[in-house]
Structure 1
């Protein structure tokens, strides 16, 4: 796993740094941050088991140094598409599994900043796997072909609101969501008409998810796909988005990490920034803590 950081008030991004050094492979990294504490999870092969597991690592100094990694996943069901979020000292992770083959998801959370973790719990009939946690409120969003669904819990997952279908421009897949105060932001991969390739779509609510405004596409609409999006929000309520774009990539499954932010709560957006120098990135994740922006991704410049 590789990580890079943008520090406000200092020019540019830090050099990327390696986080995992195990002999087994790792993929699907996710990053979240609160204050100067940065949390990272990833799915990886686990020696001695026939299933993948979930590994966790934390930094308490804005990513300068890192504590050892821990296996926080289940020993018997495997991991599919883990997700990570945090609010103050609450750290929450959700994942699918490859045993039960149903819509139920599993989750686990920490109330002391990732120092220790509670038991693994099950979420029945979830609308999706992408979520955001804010104090005791958890927002979940799901993106399927032609459908985007939203639901939330205000009691740390004990009960959930009736799922709501969101208005989107066209066909949508995948989804991600963040929230702060009354603002709730969601992003999707969409297939804009007449464009035949995926682009990144953004939609927002300014009243805690009660109603939603019209969506907007924030990637360049062209014949080159933008995929694997992720979103974070800063303390001022402004959204930051990253994704994989193939605009400058040659043949293959990897591309470049693109980044874009808004400074007016998603009304308008600053120009797109290309973060990577070689088109060997996949599955980026973004987090904001204080005035710092962190982006982590899978990197294949040394081979698969």
Structure 2
């Protein structure tokens, strides 16, 4: 963070741009220019004052004896802090109550159990055709998705559109969602708890869409929805059909690379192309 003296020379437009950049990077606290070692700080005076008060109390004469008193009752136990899985249980209950995609979206817009909803600009629910046979599930929204409120609208979204077009699909013939519904600050990886909170909602979303084929794009949806089986990493896990079950629904599912990964590792596009050819073959076979 620049020194305060440097900020004085910035005009309002530059200050606004700096604040937007801090927000995009996930900055949520102001830090001083120099670190302070709190452990090395001297003991504060109030402790000495308290000791003096105790000395005065000892100097006072004892109070006259009175009738014997019954022993004080044991202190009432304070309620335990809410367990860490409470938000997950709340998410399960909320997701189970949804009978349509519109209801599920409305529930997510009101849901306060995930801290990401407090820092994100928009809920990123879905894009495309909910009646489509093909459903793709991505990772967490990025900055562009957070602004637009739709999944896959940045560079990775442009690549995904090209990949879909190559097998004869587009956003009118596919349905696209994410395993996490709000952008993590600074585009960081969502925590395990954040993914666990969102998981009941994406499961219900899959159930309500009822696709003929599912595609999991990247590590996050694969690990969140297949669990330990996907712990080997997406490069080893991709390219093989799996049966994904939720709510009485069984869907053939193909894990593959996330488009953002392909932008960083273009040599892997060959494998992704093989996966998308498999998707086309499966959909063509009914």
Q: Do these two structures clear the TM 0.5 threshold for a shared fold by scoring above it?
A: no
* Higher RCO (CA-CA < 8 Å; seq separation 6+): 2
TM-score (norm 1): 0.22
TM-score (norm 2): 0.23
Greater share of residues in helix: 2
